[in-house]
Amino acid sequence: MQKYRIVPQQENMFWQLVQGMTLDDEEKTLLKNAVIRHVEVSVKAGIWEIALTSQTLIPDSLLQRAAEQIKGKCSLQKVIFYQDIIDIEDGISKVWPQLVTTVAEDNPTVFQLLKRSKYVVDGSKLLIKVPGELGGEIMRAHAVTQLMGRAIKDMLGYRCPVTCEASDEVLQNLSVDDSFNTPEYQAALHKERVAEKQTSSHADAVPAPAAAPKKEAKPKAAPKKREDFSQPVVVQGTGNTIFGRSIMGERQLIADLDGETKSVILEGFIGEGAGSGLKTIEFKTGTKMLAFCLSDESDGIACKKFFKPGKGRNGQEEDFDEIMGKLKEGMAVRIRGSVRFDTYMNEYVVFVDSLAKKEMKKREDNAEVKRVELHAHTTMSAMDAVVSVKDLIKTADSWGWPAIAITDHGVVQAYPDAAKAAEKLNIKVIYGMEGYLTGDDFEQKRANHIIFLAKNPNGLRNLYQLVSLSHVKYFHRQPRLPKKIIEEYRDGIIIGSACEAGELIRAIVEGQNEEQLIEIASFYDYLEIQPIHNNDFLKRSDKFPHITTDQDLIDINLKVAELAKKLGKMLVATCDVHFLNPEDNIYRAILMKGKGFDDADMQPPLYLRTTEEMLAEFEYLGEEAAYEAVVTNPRKINDMIEKFKPIPDDLYSPMIPGADEEIESMSYNRAKSMYGENLPEIVEARLQQELKPIIGHGFSVLYLIAQRLVKKSNDDGYLVGSRGSVGSSFIATMTGITEVNPLPPHWRCPHCQYSKFITDGSYGCGYDLPDMECPVCGTPLIKDGHDIPFAVFLGFDGDKVPDIDLNFSGTYQPVAHKYTEILFGKDNVYRAGSIQTVADKTAFGYVKKYFEEKGIKKHISYIDRLAHGCMGVKSTTGQHPAGIMVVPRDMDVHFFTPIQHPANDMNCGTITTHFDYHSISSRLVKLDILGHDDPTVIKMLEDLTCRDPKTIPFDDVATMSLFNCTDALGLTPEELGATSGTFGIPEFRTPFTRQMIDDTNPDVFSDLVRISGFSHGTDVWLGNAQDLIRSGQCTIKNAISARDDIMMYLIHHGIDPLLSFKTMEKVRKGKGIDPDVVKKLQDGDIPQWYIDSCQKIKYLFPRAHATAYVMMAYRIAFCKVHYPLAYYAAYFSIRADEFDANVIAKGQEYVGQQIHELEEISKEKKLDAKQNATLIVLQLAWEMYLRGFDCENVDIYTSDAEKFIIHEKSLLPPLASLGGMGTKASQSIVEARKDGIFTSIEDLRRRTGISKTNIEILRDHGCLDGMGESDQISLFG
């Protein structure tokens, strides 16, 4: 019988195998402490023979139960156990001197302390009693318990938890055990005395007389040691106590915790985010609970702390708010507490009694003359590097470096953030790139790496040109560059030979001859070498049988050095940075494992090294040559490079001659046509308030561009909705960019231009005003005005670059985009590029999978912490769905950014900016031309009803009633199953907004605007305005719903306008109100509920945006009341992707059944997106049936391809409304039927080209009833 021996890697494998057994505490202890030495597996027979090591004999009856458990879990025929009972105390006593010697590892202090310590074996645990508190601290500082545990495992072969205890008794009775009188002890003693002698001679040395000045030698790196034992032992501090007592004692790793523990000291980082970060709960008793997760380098664990009213554990009052003010997510801390199993969380939890902030020691560069790193990658090197450019530059600056280069793979997308990071630091950023070099044929099998460093602004523009060419013209798996193209754009660029993937080192490895190597090396301005272990993979690879040792790797670098010397070129040592610190390699390993690399865990040491570390790496070059490569030459290259910015500072708008005059005259002409030749003071003042900064800051051209785009759409029959705060600008209203009028509520006469304004805040908007006739000429007055301050759009001083976002019809959006090319020229218009990075959930998934594939279980907080280290890494590029970047006609795009295809899709005709649009949006004009359903629906309604949507009144009583009852639909709430008629109305159709309607009972237009604001804000409605309205402290009229509400409310209550503006700005960004401002508001009689509401808000929507949305929604609601079939036809045609004629056409009863089924499902679990969308369609179809309208079956000859057709009392659905039919097949049927009826199903398929699946869909619906299968006539019966 063939057997296999398996040795488990996990020590607790036996305990995992028996999980699920019902065990008492004694049995749990027995099985937990048992370790599988190996398993003999008989595959065919299904037998496992398990060799167990245990410290206590496990009864046969318990082992038999365990065997049954494993048999069932692993589907085996038989499980046999062999026990090996060990005596831990006997084993440790035999090797104690060797353990001490191994753990001390040449450290005299630790050796002497362990020699005089006493140990006790308690069951399966080892307790070391050390002399006094100081002795305990020294043991903790040198991680003695961890080292001792590993040594026991190595020497005795079994796991033994080790703890350390400071003992005054041992301190008072110092003695050395006789077992130390051994050869091992004598050898260790000899080493100790030698070390002491060296220390003594060093201390007693007398300084020599001063010698003549000599040239200062280059510092030589000392060999690496575990510690410098000639220096005093530094005992780690207890940290800055935040609560509890000072934390003295030795830390444990979280992974070493074993069940419940009375007292434990841990160090690590407080988690971040909803899952692992700081959370607080207050109980009715007044007790407050702080909860968070702690993670260290080994694992994570949940932590809790209860703060009871009164005194803390140290006898002092514990101020919970003060403590919370000191704690921050991600903070390094040291905690003490007890580990207990928490039945509520179903896991082990540390109940914390003391916590201190821990200062983390960072690496420093202590060299007198610092190096410069010329090869460093950031998170913009896609899925490859994990250091943010901000951290990279900040670290280099803190080390005192004069400069650092950014050289990402094939891209320069880190430049904007690099420039921002260096802005206030004393460091120069060298803007570079690691490119992909090819010969003339850029589609060759392999590209070589090459380094580019821009010397000056001209070199930067040439580098941008190279980036564009590599992405747009020469992309093949990577953005490649033929050597001849590089030669053409080489001016102002310093070129380096790069890493082992560069053509020079590849040629050396391949064994090319000297002449060939010289020819290759001659192309470069400097030659590059890196630490040898960066290239360890060469030793592992079968492709390089001649490279097997470190010396082989050294020889490669020595050859590069030889070539540099022969050609008179600079030799430069670089790190090829991909992560910041050595321990950060785990993040790169996780990402590379996620990409499928088998050797992901064999990470080369691609971290940022200090000057001393680099000198040590290259000591084989000789002291002088190493210093030259590490320090002198990189600094020489830095001196050749100017300091400049990668992106210009100012806004460069397209030039439109006469834009200022055109905007001013257009605004005044429209204003006078509406308000009269002698403008009211309030109108004149607003025009001047806006025109001065718009013209003064050069923003006229932005307004004029938007005006022309909107006019073009309007002329073509499509309304345009405004987004954002553009509706706050009266100039935007007067130039036709937006329908929203931001003036205070007012009446105006269309005949004689009489006007009257309401400025006391008593009306929410002009549409809420009562009807009134002109007192001058008797004409019914127009009502308008939404009372929105201009400061919301361009800031209090009008100097903020305007962001004009427009909602075009989705069907018209491509036309609007094309029109920008006509306005500015095709070569001056680019889509706004975007960069997608690894987000939190994706990163979490990578980490989770990484450990799952290893069979290792880690706490969620540990996974979460590692996930944070993987976040922000570039995954791909894309484009803003609506953003257009406009370059002035007299400028080259490369003055601002390179260009590329989105996601490097060479089959895509779209060209985007290489930089993410956010980074250049204040340098170039960005137009947001969005596609939206509402303008499309309104266009269809206009076509169906022949009514101009601009004539729809915003104070129609029947329409307004939809938002507080169902009367306008001719239905009762019981029939409809809702208290309002807003099914299918944009902004008001979701259960969330319908609940707001129920809570607020809106009765005027401004109430609807407020509801829109509530729904788009964060922490504005739930837990805030909703509670205030329900409790009667405020009403919908004065609750905070939009950002403008705050400024206008405070101004109307006598608060200084500038302070009102600043308060609005802080609140809308979620920053709350500062205490000094709270005092001023209280002094101004602002209610406390209002101030408290402000403090809760995280984000506020602009009122102008909400108003524009509601104006569109109100027009659609008007049609729902007055043109019902047109409304249902438009809604189902454009918004109802989930409309299935097979369901809806079956009638009212069937639709009701489908609604009931989904509602029942929703009681058990949350509906998914598709189910939710289906429910909305069903509810609207149900409403349509209740109102007396019907839905016909699809007809192959009369149904449209995509749109619903209105009959007298019914709708005819389109062909595409049949589930699975598809638009293309539907269009082909409509096109084919123009040539006559289909004589058979065969004829239908032949003429339309539709699939068998499409035929079956039509057959099931009844569309093919009466149609024969074939045109052939049978001659035989």
Contact (CB, 8 A) for 608 and 376: yes
Contact (CB, 8 A) for 527 and 564: yes
Contacts for 189 with CB less than 8 Å, ≥ 6 apart: none
**347 and 426, same domain (yes or no):** no
Return d(Cα 1082, Cα 98) in angstroms, integer.
Answer: 74
Q: 187-191, 918-922, 993-997 — which is least confidently predicted? A: 187-191
323-368 tens-digit pLDDT: 999 999 999 999 999 999 887 788 899 999 999 999 888 899 999 9
Q: 218-227, 429-438, 827-836, 1158-1167 — which is least confidently predicted? A: 218-227
The CA-atom distances, in angstroms, between 517 and each of 80, 387, 444, 512 are 65, 34, 21, 7
Which percentage of the chain shows pLDDT scores above 90?
Answer: 63
Going through 62-104 in order, the beta strands assigned E by DSSP cover 78-85
- Do strands 1190-1191 and 1210-1212 pair parallel, antiparallel, or not at all (unpaired)? parallel
Q: pLDDT band for position 627 (50/70/90)?
A: very high
What are phi and psi for residue 746, nearest 5 degrees?
Answer: -160, 160
**437 and 570, same domain (yes or no):** yes
Mean pLDDT of 66-74: 87
| Predicted pLDDT of residue 344 | 77
**29 and 120, same domain (yes or no):** no
Burial class (CB in 10 A: 0-12, 13-18, 19+), 479: buried
What are phi and psi for residue 336, nearest 5 degrees?
Answer: -130, 140
pLDDT over 50 (residue 154): yes
| Predicted pLDDT of residue 860 | 92
Contact (CB, 8 A) for 910 and 901: yes
* DSSP assignments along 186-240, one per residue: HHHHHHHHHHHHHHHHHHHPPPPPPPPP-PPPPPPPPPP-S--TTSPP-PPP--E
**962 and 1068, same domain (yes or no):** yes
Higher pLDDT, 750 or 88: 750
- In angstroms and rounded to an integer, the radius of gyration of the C-alpha atoms of the chain is 38
Residues forming a β-bridge with 884: 831, 927
The 10 Å CB-count burial string (b at 16+, else e) for 568-578 is ebbbbbbbbbb
| Predicted pLDDT of residue 190 | 54
* DSSP assignments along 1141-1209, one per residue: HHHHTT-HHHHHHHHHHHHHHHHHS---HHHHHHHHHHHHHHHHHHTT-EEPPP-TTTS-SSS-EE-SS
Question: Residue 110: which domain range?
Answer: 88-197
What are phi and psi for residue 1138, nearest 5 degrees?
Answer: -90, 5
Domain stops at, among 197, 228, 259: 197
Going through 70-157 in order, the beta strands assigned E by DSSP cover 78-85, 118-122, 125-131
Return d(Cα 1050, Cα 1222) in angstroms, integer.
Answer: 55
* DSSP assignments along 419-479, one per residue: HHHHTTSS-EEEEEEEEEEE-S-TTSS-PEEEEEEE-SHHHHHHHHHHHHHHHHTSEESEE
In a domain, 193, yes or no: yes
Q: How far is CA 665 from the centre of its chain?
A: 46
Contact (CB, 8 A) for 1196 and 1230: no
Contact (CB, 8 A) for 1200 and 1214: yes
Return d(Cα 317, Cα 311) in angstroms, integer.
Answer: 5
Higher pLDDT, 720 or 870: 870
**543 and 554, same domain (yes or no):** yes
Higher pLDDT, 85 or 432: 432
Q: pLDDT band for position 191 (50/70/90)?
A: low
Its pTM stands at 0.73
| Predicted pLDDT of residue 199 | 43
**111 and 165, same domain (yes or no):** yes
427-463 tens-digit pLDDT: 999 999 999 999 999 999 999 999 999 999 999 999 9
In a domain, 694, yes or no: no
In a domain, 1157, yes or no: no
The 10 Å CB-count burial string (b at 16+, else e) for 1141-1169 is bbbbbeeeeebbebbeebeeeeeeeeeee
Contact (CB, 8 A) for 820 and 813: no
In a domain, 912, yes or no: no
Return d(Cα 731, Cα 706) in angstroms, integer.
Answer: 12
**139 and 158, same domain (yes or no):** yes
Mean pLDDT of 1148-1156: 93
In a domain, 883, yes or no: no
What single-letter DSSP state applies at residue 57? P
Mean pLDDT of 975-1001: 91
Q: How far is CA 143 from the centre of its chain?
A: 36
**CATH number, domain at 341?**
2.40.50.140
| Predicted pLDDT of residue 131 | 79
Return d(Cα 1153, Cα 1181) in angstroms, integer.
Answer: 12
Contact (CB, 8 A) for 914 and 896: no
pLDDT over 50 (residue 986): yes
In a domain, 746, yes or no: no
- Give start and end residues of each alpha helix (H) in 891-1017: 917-920, 933-945, 957-961, 973-976, 991-1000, 1005-1016
Domain stops at, among 1091, 1108, 1134: 1134
> Among positive and negative, which fits the CA dihedral 999, 1000, 1002, 1005?
negative
The 10 Å CB-count burial string (b at 16+, else e) for 896-935 is bbbbbbbebeeeeeebbbbbbbebbbebbbbbbbbbbbbb
**518 and 625, same domain (yes or no):** yes
Long-range contacts formed by 664-671: CB under 8 A, 24+ apart? 664/691, 664/695, 664/700, 666/707, 666/734, 666/735, 667/691, 667/730, 667/731, 667/734, 667/735, 668/734, 670/734, 670/735, 670/736, 671/734
- Do strands 279-282 and 428-438 pair parallel, antiparallel, or not at all (unpaired)? unpaired
- Fill in the amino acid letter for 990: T
Contact (CB, 8 A) for 944 and 1206: yes
Six-digit token pair at 706? Answer: 């938007």
| Predicted pLDDT of residue 181 | 54
Q: pLDDT band for position 785 (50/70/90)?
A: very high
1236-1260 tens-digit pLDDT: 999 999 999 999 999 999 999 999 9
Contact (CB, 8 A) for 920 and 913: yes
In a domain, 693, yes or no: no
Return d(Cα 602, Cα 251) in angstroms, integer.
Answer: 29
Q: How far is CA 592 from the centre of its chain?
A: 19
Neighbours of 176 (CB within 10 A): 11
Burial class (CB in 10 A: 0-12, 13-18, 19+), 256: middle
**350 and 411, same domain (yes or no):** no
**38 and 170, same domain (yes or no):** no
**510 and 620, same domain (yes or no):** yes
What are phi and psi for residue 797, nearest 5 degrees?
Answer: -100, 5
Return d(Cα 1000, Cα 1029) in angstroms, integer.
Answer: 7
Six-digit token pair at 482? Answer: 């033929």
Contacts for 54 with CB less than 8 Å, ≥ 6 apart: 30, 33, 34, 35, 83, 84, 85, 86
pLDDT over 80 (residue 174): no
Mean pLDDT of 285-312: 88
Domain count, the chain: 5
| Predicted pLDDT of residue 238 | 53
Domain stops at, among 616, 639, 662: 639
Contact (CB, 8 A) for 833 and 914: yes
**1078 and 967, same domain (yes or no):** yes
What are phi and psi for residue 125, nearest 5 degrees?
Answer: -115, 150
First vs last C-alpha separation in the chain: 71
Locate tokens 């365990």: which residue? Answer: 66
| Predicted pLDDT of residue 182 | 54
pLDDT over 80 (residue 224): no
Average pLDDT score, the chain: 88
> Among positive and negative, which fits the CA dihedral 581, 583, 585, 587?
negative
pLDDT over 90 (residue 831): yes
In a domain, 104, yes or no: yes
Neighbours of 1204 (CB within 10 A): 28
507-539 tens-digit pLDDT: 999 999 999 999 999 999 999 999 999 999 999
pLDDT over 60 (residue 222): no
Return d(Cα 238, Cα 330) in angstroms, integer.
Answer: 19
Mean pLDDT of 725-740: 91
| Predicted pLDDT of residue 925 | 86
**CATH number, domain at 594?**
3.20.20.140
The 10 Å CB-count burial string (b at 16+, else e) for 1070-1101 is eebbeeebbeebeeeebeeebbebbebbeebb
Six-digit token pair at 20? Answer: 């699920």
Which percentage of the chain shows pLDDT scores above 70?
Answer: 93
Residues composing the chain: 1277
Q: pLDDT band for position 232 (50/70/90)?
A: very low
Six-digit token pair at 1086? Answer: 């602002």
Higher pLDDT, 261 or 3: 261
- Do strands 347-357 and 300-307 pair parallel, antiparallel, or not at all (unpaired)? parallel
pLDDT over 70 (residue 231): no
